[in-house]
Structure 1
């Protein structure tokens, strides 16, 4: 900081040829400008200005020093303009992670559309069902489904999902339609990563342990199995909504269905969120919402 002391004042006086006018430009007192120039001349052991009652002009040494200082200040102004431009126009690299199936079906098409709108943005996408530490792994953004664990991350809800328990008409004709949660143990429940299904009963959350002949960590694998009449399964709406609408599957226990869950964009807490991340999050929210 010591090297910069007096430089702004020096350049202002050189360009205005007046201590008073330079002080007005900088918003400080004339006395402060004079002190800074004197200190600068003392530090450089060089006289920078000729001073008369009518005019202030540069010495030969002052003119040389001014040209160099002007170049430095021009560089700083250009740096500020570059940062301002970044705030207005997204550019650079975004590292994003999302769950595999949801990422393939919903996130990647929108990421590709976003890049068509903003070709100066590069996006590295890692589709994985693992919960990655964004800060440690250097990610800018994560897409998370359902309930969020307590986190220091910032979260923006992009859209919602609803969980359905459903079965094929053939299965329900053969084994019956469950009307209460207690009847689930009588059915072949096809499970994914978790063997507990969540419900809401009289305003209270209930978690029911289920079991069956198939466990699979693929939503589409479970969807195929339930279509073929192998049992009941619980899946989000984006897997089963088309089959439910067409009558290929039937939703059961809807009176115990949990409220909608959020689908979230998660990003490290940062007051100055970069334009590339902010605009991508806003775009995903707009399109998914």
Structure 2
């Protein structure tokens, strides 16, 4: 079935708009993508792509061919997924991304448990605090936290987490405890990657701009600074739960705690979700503890 060669590679280039993204999506090399597309063009006797050093675009023939070939390719993928779903054990590679600290603390252990349960699954996870383009990078899904930006991605809520405002007992002995949100202006604040703190006031989210002498883009570093008595920090539960339980940190403003910050799994909307991906997402949703 030589006439099928190169179709998947061409459709991948057409979908993501470049050879690198297509290579990532199909887990192959840019050179292989280029060879397959060139072979398809030679076989058809037409030029499907305009190539420059900066961009790739479809020719008129390429646009027409893509419109006809893409649905057929999707149908073949659906057929393969249907057959794969009949297997007793899921198979194949899952590629995803997750935030660094949350991913290392929660996602990685769950991925390990998932692979122990399903020996036919392998995982490639990129831990990054950047919002990576999962379509361009050929990833199956991303784990994201908080409010999602408007996009073409499809999201599934996995769990929720809470934000705690806390400091050490020594800090409160030296500086007193804030009694109102306005009192925060009088205190030393430990600032993270966001220039504001979020509170739930009268069922409405209120964002308060914050500044401080310490600014870290690491939750673990902020937690250490708070334990050291350098000021107040607002952090998710998984950073401070142990310190709160041991008394190293003391919480303030529990009445204003936002309890609805969500943890999401997001997927490309134009890609079929394989059974193995759905299985992983369901596994994560079942095992990620609320208030993470």
C-alpha distance after superposition, 1:30-53 (max 9, x if no partner): xxxxxxxxxxxxxxxxxxxxxxxx
Name the CA distance, whole Å, in 2 between partners of 1:145 and 1:115. 24
Match of 2:86 among 71, 85, 88: 88
Distance 1:270 1:279, change over 3 A: farther
Normalising to structure 1: TM-score of the pair? 0.69
The offset of 1:81, in angstroms, is 8.6
C-alpha distance after superposition, 1:73-111 (max 9, x if no partner): xxxxxx999654412342111111000011111001111
Are 2:101 and 1:101 aligned? yes
Contact 2:81 2:274 (C-alpha < 8 Å) held by counterparts: no
Partner of 2:224: 224
Name the CA distance, whole Å, in 2 between partners of 1:204 and 1:261. 13
Partner of 2:273: 273
Of 152-161 and 83-92, deviating more is 83-92
Partner of 2:167: 167
RMSD: 1.9
Q: Superposed, which structure 2 residues align to 1:5-24 within 5 Å?
A: none
Name the CA distance, whole Å, in 2 between partners of 1:119 and 1:175. 55
SS at match of 1:265: strand
Q: 5+ unaligned residues in a row in structure 1: which ranges?
A: 1-78
Distance 1:159 1:80, change over 3 A: closer
Partner of 2:241: 241
Name the CA distance, whole Å, in 1 between partners of 2:165 and 2:131. 25
Name the CA distance, whole Å, in 2 between partners of 1:257 and 1:83. 43
Partner of 2:209: 209
Name the CA distance, whole Å, in 1 between partners of 2:246 and 2:269. 43
Contact 2:160 2:259 (C-alpha < 8 Å) held by counterparts: no
Distance 1:202 1:88, change over 3 A: same
Partner of 1:46: none
Larger Rg: 1
Name the CA distance, whole Å, in 1 between partners of 2:210 and 2:183. 11
SS at match of 2:113: helix
Partner of 2:182: 182
SS at match of 1:137: coil
Q: 5+ unaligned residues in a row in structure 2: which ranges?
A: 1-76
Normalising to structure 2: TM-score of the pair? 0.68
The offset of 1:173, in angstroms, is 1.2
Of 219-228 and 112-121, deviating more is 112-121
C-alpha distance after superposition, 1:113-156 (max 9, x if no partner): 11112222221110000001111111101000111112221211
Contact 1:88 1:275 (C-alpha < 8 Å) held by counterparts: no
C-alpha distance after superposition, 1:4-36 (max 9, x if no partner): xxxxxxxxxxxxxxxxxxxxxxxxxxxxxxxxx
Distance 1:208 1:268, change over 3 A: same
Contact 2:78 2:272 (C-alpha < 8 Å) held by counterparts: no
> Aligned pairs, how many?
211
Partner of 2:44: none
The offset of 1:266, in angstroms, is 0.9
Q: Superposed, which structure 2 residues align to 1:45-64 within 5 Å?
A: none
